Amino acid sequence: MLPQRVAEEIETNRQRYVAELTDFLRIPSVSTDSEYAENTRQSAEWVVNKLKKLGFQTELRETAGHPVVCGHLVSDASLPTLLIYGHYDVQPPDPLDEWVTPPFSPDIRDGYIYARGATDNKGQCLTYFEAMEAILAVSGKLPLNVKVLVEGEEEIGSPNLGPFLQANLDELKTDVIAISDGSQFAPDIPAITYGLRGLSYLEVGVQGPRFDLHSGSFGGLVANPVQVLSEMLAQLKNEDGTVAIPNFYDDVLELDPRERQEMAALSVDEVELRKYLGVDELVGEPDRSIVERKTARPTLDVNGIWGGFAGEGAKTIIPARAGAKVSMRLVPYQRAATINELFKNFVYSIAPPGVEIQISEMHGSDPVLVERDQPAIQAAARAIEFGFGKYPLFIREGGSIPIVGLFQEELGCKSILLMGWGSPDDGAHSPNERFSLEDFHRGILSAAALFYALEESFEA
């Protein structure tokens, strides 16, 4: 499938690819933190420069937030088009003191490159650019027309990419989309992802008295916002781990028997997993396998909570206010907009007297399912088999990539290839995030093979 000379070209340039990745990873493109806004832009410019070297027509496109990188390289107008999507922004690196080496000083140890963004998503995104560079070096043109869309706000919910997509539907029109922003099922067990969870993320504020009160003088008279918030949060879930918000499960698609069987067959070493996580028990819905629970069932989690006195020693107060961030992972066919409403209605309905509740929506994205029985998916499977030496499994992922739902609905593209080159233990969003250099290399090989596999599948 992949011409031998392209594979050799990729082999020859291994070191240089790592050097380029190192360069890319040095830029602290933390999208959520305005202190890093300039760096975030630099990261976008890094992508533009890389694409220009490949001969792409490309530029930074301004949005209300961080810029989008768009580019295209037309090979032959009669050929089909592949759009490559990725993100150049990264999560904040904290807690800093838990990093063995600093997050933006990439370090190579034991075959891994350690840095924020290594796997999520700079390393995985770069595989496509290096693959195209190798193909172009050998044959002068790509087997397909290629469009590139790399954004800088994925980690904050892609708030401006939806409108950008709407405004540029023609320009972004494509036959197939490739995204590598997830992981293999396990190290050395490659997979194609055909499902992503969606996300509803809200913030709840509880306002009590006008200011912190002496708990001796006023205790017994006023509702305590920290207490009230805790009690409300506790009511969001049932003891068996299910979500208690009325109608929350109305639109949840039950797994079909084939999927249930497949998921049951995916063996997860629970003892190993508990060890990795540092917990002595896993929780969750009864009668559902681990894989099912973490990819195909919705969840609710409190991400953070604040209020009152948490400093050294003791302080006797009734705090004036408290707050929490709550997120829910959604599965097909739940909709973020609907779930947001259900959440708000329920929380308002259980609020006791004596406090004021304020709820704001942070971000939302809809879950995704991709039809597995289509030629582009089979082409992707062959490309992965070539690059990783193993035929991929088919899995759903628990994470979210907010724009993918809009690729289906607005751009009308049903051929979406979600192929994670990383590994679940890469530590995305955690301290000491890393990417295996072997996976980086195999990702480049698979990405290169994908161009040819897709070309063959379109010809057929």
| Piece of 152-160, 240-248, 255-263, 331-339 that binds ligand BES (CB under 6 A) | 152-160
Cβ atoms < 10 Å from Cβ of 226? 20
Q: Does 426 bind ligand BES (CB under 6 A)?
A: no
**C-beta of 150: minimal distance to Mn ion in Å?**
12
d(CA 181, CA 87): 8
Q: Does 408 bind Mn ion (CB under 5 A)?
A: no
Residues 69-88 binding Mn ion (CB under 5 A) are none
Picked from ligand BES, Mn ion, none, the partner binding residue 400 (CB below 5 to 8 A depending on kind) is ligand BES
Cβ atoms < 10 Å from Cβ of 170? 6
Burial 292-316, CB ≥16 within 10 A → b, else e:
bbbbbbbbbebeeeebbeeeeeeee
Q: Does 199 bind ligand BES (CB under 6 A)?
A: yes
d(CA 80, CA 460): 13
**C-beta of 252: minimal distance to ligand BES in Å?**
19
Backbone CA torsion sign across 250, 253, 256, 262:
negative
d(CA 168, CA 204): 35
Residue type, 176: V
**C-beta of 89: minimal distance to ligand BES in Å?**
9
Q: Does 121 bind Mn ion (CB under 5 A)?
A: yes
Q: Does 402 bind ligand BES (CB under 6 A)?
A: yes
Picked from Mn ion, ligand BES, none, the partner binding residue 208 (CB below 5 to 8 A depending on kind) is none
Phi-psi region of 278 (alpha: psi -120 to 50; beta: other; left: phi over 0): left
Among 130, 151, 181, 439, binds ligand BES (CB under 6 A): 181
The neighbouring-strand residues paired with 109 are 112
**C-beta of 219: minimal distance to ligand BES in Å?**
40
Among 130, 155, 366, 426, binds ligand BES (CB under 6 A): 155
d(CA 48, CA 411): 23
Q: Does 397 bind ligand BES (CB under 6 A)?
A: yes
Strands 393-397 and 191-196: parallel
Among 181, 366, 397, 455, binds Mn ion (CB under 5 A): 181
Q: How many residues does the chain have?
A: 460
Q: Does 399 bind ligand BES (CB under 6 A)?
A: yes
Phi and psi, residue 195, nearest 5°: -150, 140
d(CA 313, CA 319): 16
CB-nearer residue toward Mn ion: 120 or 433:
120
**C-beta of 74: minimal distance to Mn ion in Å?**
28
| Nearest C-alpha neighbor of 31 from the set 145, 121, 156, 144 | 156
Residues 337-376 binding ligand BES (CB under 6 A) are 363, 365
Burial 66-90, CB ≥16 within 10 A → b, else e:
bbbbbbbbebeeebbbbbbbbbbbb
Q: Does 182 bind ligand BES (CB under 6 A)?
A: yes
**C-beta of 287: minimal distance to ligand BES in Å?**
24
| Piece of 176-184, 262-270, 379-387, 404-412 that binds ligand BES (CB under 6 A) | 176-184
**C-beta of 211: minimal distance to ligand BES in Å?**
34
Q: Does 120 bind ligand BES (CB under 6 A)?
A: yes
Query: Which residue carries 């079909």 as its tokens?
Result: 256
CB-nearer residue toward ligand BES: 155 or 366:
155
Phi and psi, residue 172, nearest 5°: -95, 0
**C-beta of 157: minimal distance to ligand BES in Å?**
4
Picked from ligand BES, Mn ion, none, the partner binding residue 340 (CB below 5 to 8 A depending on kind) is none
**Nearest to ligand BES by Cβ — which residue?**
399
Instruction: Annotate 294-352 with DSSP letters as a single string.
Output: HHTS-EEEEEEEEES--SSS---EE-SEEEEEEEEEE-TT--HHHHHHHHHHHHHHHPP
Q: Does 298 bind ligand BES (CB under 6 A)?
A: no
| Piece of 69-77, 114-122, 166-174, 314-322 that binds Mn ion (CB under 5 A) | 114-122
- Applying CB under 6 A, the residues found at the interface with ligand BES are 120-121, 154-155, 157, 181-183, 199, 363, 365, 397, 399-402
- Applying CB under 5 A, the residues found at the interface with Mn ion are 120-121, 181
